[in-house]
Chain A
Amino acid sequence: MKILIVEDEKALLETLVASLTKEHFVIETASDFRSASEKMALYDYDCILLDIMLPHGSGLELLQQLKQDGKTANVIIISAKDSLDDKLKGLEWGADDYLTKPFHIAELNARIKAVIRRNKLDGKNTIEMTNMVLDLTERTFFVNQQNVPLNRKEFDILNYFMLNKNRLVTKTALAEHVWGDNTDQADNYDFIYYQIKNLRKKLNEAQAEIEIEAVYGIGYKLIET
């Protein structure tokens, strides 16, 4: 998997590279309009993370150029502007997703994997791991070919963890992903603990070969056992 990150903020670029390298992606970077335009014209990428506000030009122009060149790369726009206009324009011009800064690393991982999966044409929309299969179309979960019933939120939590295997998922990231992005209230994310406890119990009973580990009280990590 080859990913191009177009982002002018050096520090953010570095963290994105560090994080995505862990997912074993091949990463290339561009930090201004010209070099991004050049790379996008010369090479093919599976996914492009595109900042809208760039020195010497707009990410939206790069998007147009990419589509005119007939490239099929998945594009996720990363913007500091949570503007409906940009979002609509971006999606209309062929972006696959739109992520507003600041975002959690886990969320970015999940989005990248989701768009890559969506555009794979093998028609299979499942995530497989050890002895488990998560069917995203049917929203069903199998361990050793046995159906394990999960409610909507348990399914979403597990899905999120599986997209972020071996990675830290903070409680905040999980809450925002599963319970919605209404961030104003003083959310005390302690309630998540009970949700995880229930999920762990179901996984244990079904003998799934994974474990949800707590990480310093900040979040969780899904690991294979």
Chain B
Amino acid sequence: MLAHEFMRNAFLAGTFVALACGLVGYFVVLRAQVFAGDALSHVAFTGALAAAAAGVDVRLGLLVATLGVAAGMGALGRRARPDDVVIGSVFAWILGLGALFLSIFIAGSSGSDGTAAVRVLFGSILGLSAGEAWLAAAIAVAACLALLVLARPLLLSSLDPEVARGLGVPVRALGVAFLLVLGVVAAEATQAVGALLLLGLLAAPGGAARLLTDRPWHGLALSAAIAVGSTWAGLALSYEIESLPASTAIIGVASAAFVLAGARSALAAAAPRPSSIEA
């Protein structure tokens, strides 16, 4: 399997992107910001297609769009109550804009098919060149390092913002910094599993880890391990099964891990006493 260059590139990029997704995803679930991840995935789609329509590098559009929206969400902060009706209206429109850019792009590329759309929506990890894979891995590693630097105060401020503020932790600045890291990771993950599926790679490992352990550092490591494991297993599965797309396989394995974690915690909760998870 690893004799093929595209598989080596996919494993290189996939491993580090999944590592970043797992680490960030744990915090996303911990901070109950799955909705923010959902928002970023919609924005990533529109940003990438806007760049494609304008003839700019898709990755540039991805990064600009996700970082811009992450900064905007951070600036609005917690005072601006996240009303799900407003979010629904805004993101329906953003997706509609994406559809517009898609049609502009297809019309502009003189009759060629819209593979760019499929790449953005559902990922193209098997189509990365060596240079793209190294770049994706490098950015993902940088995001991981940034997150590990932030991890300790971020954990404290996620679990107990009041105490953190009392201790002099800059809770608000940390929240914004976290959203920016999330933006970078979302842009990277879009290349691996696509804009529509990246939510799964953020939420499933983080959610599973949260179900399996209450201890934050264990959870963080577990989430990263589940994300990387899902990516490896998914890539191997899609290599073995011709018609199975890599992104579907990766999300499928991650979802299975989440379901297993849910079953295990349900059993554990049923057996001794039902108070082990909420702590």
Q: Do A and B bind each other?
A: no
Residues of A within 8 A of B (CB): none
